[in-house]
Structure 1
């Protein structure tokens, strides 16, 4: 029997230890340096820069993209030169997380800056019918920025409720072009229930071309448009590489899925009998090209320097995703279900070629963008995220804090290098993520006091959330 390792000290708590950044990146996935021949350096704020105008904000989400599905995060077979370039020009985060383990709860956490369990719609994991959604009365990232003078638009996947009660244009976005549901067939635009699901505003919009192409064109038009003196927010939510496994040009596969949908097969979009690692690679590389086209349009517009671009996934990867060395995938609160690739670029204020191992999650970006945009959170709806603006721009330290997650049957909380996790087995576990990103060495037997502290912290937060309905 192997000899147990000595327990870690509770003093090992910590946020982003600068000296460990490169080691963390190498241990959990190949850094940008390996993909591009350039060395990354630990993040350091460019404190000498003069304040600039409020940034335009281009917030891009991939759909079900795994933590290591980009070549800059260690994928051995997928090539993503445009997203790698974005990382070289900004900051790549190695320990960034989604707000939840599935699509719509994470979107709730981004749009509200709060835990999904604060709202009834956020309890659906994910939303699958018309009974719930993001209440129009709830303040959002878009509504608060719009009140502060921003033009706002959402292009792509909404997945926070259906018409007639819920819509981006009811929740702070001036413009909406995209789909309401959680998935759609890429050519026909048929959704999970067989309904047509491409809209401009609240009206159906007919376009049977490949969906990623359509969204890319719309986004390129928006970022090159003359917005006058107003800064703008664009939430660009691709459905790629979410199932069904249909790449650009796969019209025969598309036709077969459409035939099954029209024949009443409600499982057709899940495409359980389709897809492959190579098809997934094709879809991710198409996502990369599409992001590249939008970024080229932004550069042509002359707004690149003053636009904050953020790219992430809405949750961990699914069937064909590459998550190594993380365990678990979409739907789980293991690292592979919630740790996501995340890149930030803002040339006017933040230096490129940097990597950060600061633990952050989706609600933090809401708080950060509100502060950078000069907008205040609504006093009746306090945020659960922490603004990173002071850290990014002035080098302020982010104190010790907890990142919290809850899904049906699972719980997790990260504090510094430690993670408390209880899966469907009902057993409390404790992992030291810097040493064990794969969550294989359970330290609970050696750190009982720490385990009790983290469990109590999780339960205090959980007590303030809405309960799940039976």
Structure 2
């Protein structure tokens, strides 16, 4: 377990002036993971609770949402009351990470519970063509839970391969409604190559309303149904991924569509658009949408028995608020992989708690399989560690390594220490509790520790598929 940290109330930093104050109060040497909301307490399992029912699972992903883009994580200008309420009702994780620094590799790590580099499709960072994907023969979170009696659905962004070879319905999900690619224009549903990209199952589905609205309606309908068995719903929003279009921006949408139809393959990247204010609108819309789905869940009467998890698929992009973390999407610096993560399960877990346990995406796969009574396939051993004992039984997790690899970068976290090699090729070592911004390189003074962490990284890397080309 990490060394205990001193609590620091974010609200005490100055309310509306928190943005300016945070820069001073949470400088390069401050323990960012210690920041706590008023009323939060360190996590402690409610070991006296007993509940025999397996949970429904609502697993929600935002897209390119930065670590501090929620007000409960310190955003000075974005207001996220629904997600903040979710945090107050459950556990907020300060040191939670994505499985990779970009979209599809993280999704591979969630769906398989394994490092992206275990599979050919996971080597694409991210998938951009139809040559690779998540092989239908590979067991997934959905397929194992379905075999254990769960109904399964995926609503929103898939980004693990394209038709005709790859699809959620070929990988364990009973139902799919969403987009196959990494990005789409929010109204027209046109993808990067100008293709229409909204599907129900494997068939195109026509709906030209703002995409976040459409996904919210579908998810609300799913959680409101009369289910005769426990269910898994992966709800994958594209918000706040580019293009920078909020609900109502139909003129901006029309201009991007015009450029796409004229053959401009860069139109969706929207590098000549967006702003901090527009990004704020998109994140706050995501918050409202999550609130609508949670409201539908509450009205269904199944809130108590449903485990809700919210996170981002990787670090934020151009307009994200990541302070004090360095780096953003695509990088293995903290800002590229540390993500906001919230968990609520009223039947088994007390609210108002914060955990600084280092965890990452493949851990949630292992955890949900255990909670759902599903066994991993022994032919495809998991790389994640189940947190069920920590969350429900108060077990102290053994110290282990969190491993990442992307082209040109490597990283490994062990306890409070992080080994990092960026594109400069220089090995660096950071003590994250004291230096979350990764500015004070301790490698020259901790050669033995650096060597041990580097050797661990290289042992894991040796068992993965090599990058090609």
TM over 0.5: yes
Counterpart CA distance in 1 for 2:187 and 2:105 is 26
1:107-144 CA-partner distances (Å, limit 9, x unpaired): 00000000000000000000000000000000000000
Counterpart CA distance in 2 for 1:78 and 1:301 is 30
- Is the counterpart of residue 119 in structure 1 residue 119 in structure 2? yes
**Deviation at 1:51?**
2.5
Is this contact kept in 2: 1:108–1:114, CA < 8 A?
yes
Unaligned runs of 5+ in 1: none
Is this contact kept in 2: 1:98–1:339, CA < 8 A?
yes
1:340 to 1:8, Cα distance in 2 relative to 1, 3 A? closer
Is this contact kept in 2: 1:116–1:123, CA < 8 A?
yes
Counterpart CA distance in 1 for 2:276 and 2:212 is 19
Is this contact kept in 2: 1:82–1:291, CA < 8 A?
yes
Is this contact kept in 2: 1:25–1:94, CA < 8 A?
no
Is this contact kept in 2: 1:33–1:39, CA < 8 A?
no
1:265 to 1:30, Cα distance in 2 relative to 1, 3 A? farther
Counterpart CA distance in 1 for 2:14 and 2:76 is 31
Counterpart CA distance in 2 for 1:19 and 1:194 is 39
Is this contact kept in 2: 1:39–1:353, CA < 8 A?
yes
Is this contact kept in 2: 1:101–1:332, CA < 8 A?
yes
1:30 to 1:2, Cα distance in 2 relative to 1, 3 A? closer
**Which deviates more from structure 2 when the two are superposed, residues 30-39 or residues 346-355?**
30-39
RMSD of Structure 2 on Structure 1 (CA): 6.2
Counterpart CA distance in 2 for 1:61 and 1:5 is 28
Is this contact kept in 2: 1:148–1:373, CA < 8 A?
yes
Counterpart CA distance in 2 for 1:10 and 1:82 is 18
Is this contact kept in 1: 2:19–2:75, CA < 8 A?
no
Is this contact kept in 1: 2:158–2:180, CA < 8 A?
yes
Is this contact kept in 1: 2:9–2:35, CA < 8 A?
no
- Alignment correspondent of 2:464: 465
- Alignment correspondent of 1:410: 409
Is this contact kept in 2: 1:402–1:415, CA < 8 A?
yes
- Alignment correspondent of 2:162: 162
**Which deviates more from structure 2 when the two are superposed, residues 15-24 or residues 374-383?**
15-24
1:263-295 CA-partner distances (Å, limit 9, x unpaired): 000000000000000000000000000000000
**Which deviates more from structure 2 when the two are superposed, residues 229-238 or residues 21-30?**
21-30
Counterpart CA distance in 2 for 1:278 and 1:446 is 43
**Which deviates more from structure 2 when the two are superposed, residues 433-442 or residues 12-21?**
12-21
**Deviation at 1:52?**
3.0
Unaligned runs of 5+ in 2: none
**Deviation at 1:3?**
26
Counterpart CA distance in 2 for 1:231 and 1:6 is 40
**Deviation at 1:18?**
26
- Alignment correspondent of 2:224: 224
1:243 to 1:22, Cα distance in 2 relative to 1, 3 A? closer
**Deviation at 1:50?**
1.0
- Tell me the SS of whatever aligns to 2:25: helix
TM-score, scaled to structure 2: 0.93
- Alignment correspondent of 2:65: 65
1:71 to 1:258, Cα distance in 2 relative to 1, 3 A? same
1:219 to 1:24, Cα distance in 2 relative to 1, 3 A? farther
Counterpart CA distance in 1 for 2:13 and 2:33 is 28
- Tell me the SS of whatever aligns to 2:430: strand
Is this contact kept in 2: 1:400–1:415, CA < 8 A?
yes
**Deviation at 1:39?**
1.3
Is this contact kept in 2: 1:21–1:357, CA < 8 A?
no
1:291 to 1:29, Cα distance in 2 relative to 1, 3 A? farther
Is this contact kept in 2: 1:7–1:446, CA < 8 A?
no
- Alignment correspondent of 1:185: 185
1:386 to 1:28, Cα distance in 2 relative to 1, 3 A? farther
- Tell me the SS of whatever aligns to 2:108: helix
1:347 to 1:439, Cα distance in 2 relative to 1, 3 A? same
**Deviation at 1:14?**
32
- Tell me the SS of whatever aligns to 2:365: helix
- Tell me the SS of whatever aligns to 1:329: coil
Is this contact kept in 2: 1:32–1:38, CA < 8 A?
no
Is this contact kept in 2: 1:15–1:358, CA < 8 A?
no
1:26 to 1:55, Cα distance in 2 relative to 1, 3 A? farther
TM-score, scaled to structure 1: 0.93
- Tell me the SS of whatever aligns to 2:461: helix
Counterpart CA distance in 2 for 1:278 and 1:371 is 42
Is this contact kept in 2: 1:21–1:356, CA < 8 A?
no
1:400 to 1:265, Cα distance in 2 relative to 1, 3 A? same
Counterpart CA distance in 2 for 1:428 and 1:385 is 25
**Which deviates more from structure 2 when the two are superposed, residues 83-92 or residues 37-46?**
37-46
- How many residues matched? 469
**Which deviates more from structure 2 when the two are superposed, residues 7-16 or residues 333-342?**
7-16
- Tell me the SS of whatever aligns to 2:15: coil
Counterpart CA distance in 1 for 2:67 and 2:22 is 17
1:18 to 1:181, Cα distance in 2 relative to 1, 3 A? closer
1:186-229 CA-partner distances (Å, limit 9, x unpaired): 000000000000000000000000000000000000000011x3
Regions of 4+ moved over 6 Å: 1-37
Is this contact kept in 2: 1:22–1:41, CA < 8 A?
no
